[in-house]
Copies of this chain bind each other. A is one copy, B any other.
Amino acid sequence: MERRLRGVEIVAIGDELLSGASLDSNAVTIARRLEPIGLRVTRKTTVGDSSTQIAEAVRSALERSAAVLTTGGLGPTKDDVTRNAVAAVFNRELEFREDLWHALEARWAHRGRIPETNRVQAEVPAGAEVFPNRRGTAPGIAVEDDSIGLCIMLPGPPHEMEAVLVEQVVPFLEERTGPVGGRPFRRTLRTAGIAESEIAERIGGQLDDLPLDVAHLPEVDGNDIRLTGWATDESEICAVLDEAVARLRGILGAHIYGEGDVDLAQVVGELLRERGLSVAVAESCTAGLISKRLTEWPGSSDYFWGGMIVYDDRAKVDLLGVSEKTLGRYGAVSEETAREMAKAACHQSGADAAIAVTGIAGPTGGTEDKPVGTVWLAAKVRDVVVVGRRYYPGTRDMVRARAAQGGLDLLRRTLLEELA
């Protein structure tokens, strides 16, 4: 399979991107917007507000790549030096453009006289093409030279950058890329309850004959597998991706809870909705996390009754109805308590299903028998109760996030098995 994609490089400009003051989201937007026209980002370089550094970075990028997009440094203040730096790379002078100045004046009409400092925003390298910016004062600017390449300067604020990119730059680039050699088509499978290395081991070489890239993306509460195939049209690669997904579903079975951006709580919600079941939760160590996640989607009131946060043992007894005998004999973090919690959650609420979680989130409270990270989970669906012990390594936050995911996953598996 041919990968005749052309690459572009990004040069992101701004002291704030290096000092830790700002998180740069522009590269994500650019990559996503260029992908459909067959262009991919091959490298990104972030430099400060220095003419020398910008010029050097743009120059190196143009040596590796036919097109470079810069973001930032087009504002009206002294630290905005991108125009000058790029003009220098292309050996051009900056020229004042009356049409741009009039456009700036028009933007300011509602706010009074335009400040003189904005004047530099009407200056562009000689012979440049200008892309109007309807969300701000800095237009996009393209400079091109047969021997040097193409550089397109974009404003830094994300909503301005995106508007100029989508409305102006993408069509501009699409015209010159001509028929596209191929672009990536992706499928992502999400898993819970299985380690990254175990996934890799189980897959082994079983996808090697397919013309795809397989990437493992570990998250705190699960692992994603991303398949990427390249083609000019989805129909060419669709069968290959389907085949890979089918194989992975065969290899990993119920460890896969969904595809794409789907959240596990959403999957659980849909299973409940399909089956017409309601759910209640009883949370100790996760203390609201599962409830919060189940209610992140509109319409969750169709199946979510509510929950009991039984953090204190008195709450387990008084609010939920766990027996003091069970707590006394087995402890709050035990199979028996988790089972009683799930049963009591259904009993108290009249709900058809329940999730219960009790564990030791840490950093203190662990023992040799029950180290920090020990969690008992229970899921109840009608008359079936499934209980499981887990060990989740990590910080307090991580243990809680993993325990919430584990509880949701146990209910999912129970729903699938009991009510298939």
- Give chain A's interface residues, CB within 8 Å of chain B: 15-25, 27-32, 35, 40-49, 53, 57, 75-79, 107, 110-111, 114-118, 135, 137, 157, 159, 184, 195-198, 200-201, 213, 215-220, 226, 281, 283, 286-292, 294-296, 298, 300-301, 304-312, 314-315, 318-319, 348-350, 362-364, 371, 373, 391, 393-398, 400
Dominant SS among interface residues on chain A: mixed
Pick the contact of A21 from B198, B226, B309 — CB < 8 Å?
B226
What residues of chain B lie closer than 8 Å to A294, measured between beta carbons? 287
Bound CA–CA A291/B292 (angstroms): 9
Write 13 A-B pairs (CB below 8 A) sorted by A numbering.
A18-B27, A23-B28, A110-B373, A117-B201, A157-B218, A283-B291, A295-B311, A305-B312, A305-B314, A306-B308, A306-B319, A308-B319, A319-B348
Across the interface, do A115 and B201 meet the contact criterion of CB distance under 8 Å?
yes
Per CB-CB distance, the 4 closest pairs between chain A and chain B, nearest first, are A288-B288, A20-B31, A288-B291, A306-B315
Whole-angstrom distance between the Cβ of A369 and the nearest chain B Cβ = 12
Across the interface, do B27 and A40 meet the contact criterion of CB distance under 8 Å?
no
Bound CA–CA A200/B76 (angstroms): 9
Identity of the chain B residue whose Cβ is nearest the Cβ of A298 in the assembled complex: B363
Across the interface, do A364 and B298 meet the contact criterion of CB distance under 8 Å?
yes
In this complex, which of A49, A287, A363 has the most chain B Cβ atoms within 10 angstroms of its Cβ?
A287
Across the interface, do A311 and B319 meet the contact criterion of CB distance under 8 Å?
no
What residues of chain B lie closer than 8 Å to A398, measured between beta carbons? 135, 159
Bound CA–CA A394/B263 (angstroms): 21
Bound CA–CA A364/B300 (angstroms): 12
Pick the contact of A307 from B48, B196, B309, B396 — CB < 8 Å?
B309
Across the interface, do B292 and A289 meet the contact criterion of CB distance under 8 Å?
yes
Across the interface, do A310 and B315 meet the contact criterion of CB distance under 8 Å?
no
